[in-house]
Amino acid sequence: MQDLSRRNLFSLAAAAPLGRAFASVKGTSVKGASAQDPDPARSKARNRIQELHLPNVPLISHEGKEVLFYDDLVKDKIVTVNFFYSKCDEICPMVMANLVKVQKLLGDQVGRQIYMYSITLKPEQDTMDVVRNYRTALGAAPGWTFFTGKVEDIDKIRKGIGFTYPEPAIDRDTSQHIGNVRYGNEPLMLWAACPGQAHTKWVAESFEWMVHPELNRVQKS
């Protein structure tokens, strides 16, 4: 496994906008925050992150369920989010194949403690049936959900979590999409990103770190 420290992990976070939002809540306690957080300052910070970076737009799962991105998928959960499209012959196959291995390493944590989400960048082509068949062919196990939806809604999510390019022409080109994975503990407001093609064990450990970040801090101190 590559010798990558936790500091290096966070240096790979993909988005400056997301980083700035999280910097404003740097002092947040790792003891947790509930949906009805009694701490007004923490609740305000959490709401601000949601407003700026986690749009509550509708998506359709590979199972045919319509859900809201924030309310149903992200709120009060530990999640991973990445983008793909079924006919991609560039970065997608490598990222998605690696995430299959990551899911196997995480075992039954996926769907119980960690929720994996993959969203198509080409919903006009990747209908629910296409996404479902793609997921089946990939060999994804329960706990890893695939989504399609409206172009404008998916674009709001992509931009919200910071997977953008500064050059507009490149940003509009889906073949140039970033092969990173955003992951985080939403109630604790802890977020980071890592390359989807990184060493499988390292990616799995990075996701697991969000489950018990307080233990990691004790071990590293």
Tokens of 11: 């240096």
Helix (H, G, I), strand (E, B) or coil at 154: helix
Predicted local distance difference test score (pLDDT) of residue 85: 92
Strand-pair category, 190-195 with 180-185: antiparallel
CA distance 107 to 141: 9
Q: What's the alpha-carbon Rg for the chain, to the nearest Å?
A: 17
The candidate with the shortest Cα–Cα distance to 102, out of 83, 113, 116, is 116
Residue 30 pLDDT exceeds 70: no
Predicted local distance difference test score (pLDDT) of residue 88: 85
Tokens of 22: 């999280």
Domains of the chain, CATH where assigned: 6-220 (3.40.30.10)
Residues 211 and 78 sit within 8 Å (Cβ to Cβ): yes
> Average pLDDT, stretch 37-61?
93
Residue 71 is given by DSSP the state: I
Residue-wise pLDDT for 159-187, tens only, equals 999 987 566 665 566 666 678 999 999 99
Helix (H, G, I), strand (E, B) or coil at 211: coil
Rounded (5°) CA angle 162-168-169: 125
Predicted local distance difference test score (pLDDT) of residue 174: 63
Predicted local distance difference test score (pLDDT) of residue 31: 39
The partner residues of 184 in beta bridges, in order of sequence, read: 79, 191
Percentage of residues of the chain with pLDDT beyond 70: 74
Percentage of residues of the chain with pLDDT beyond 90: 67
Query: Is the alpha carbon torsion for 14, 17, 22, 26 positive or negative?
Result: positive
> Average pLDDT, stretch 135-149?
97
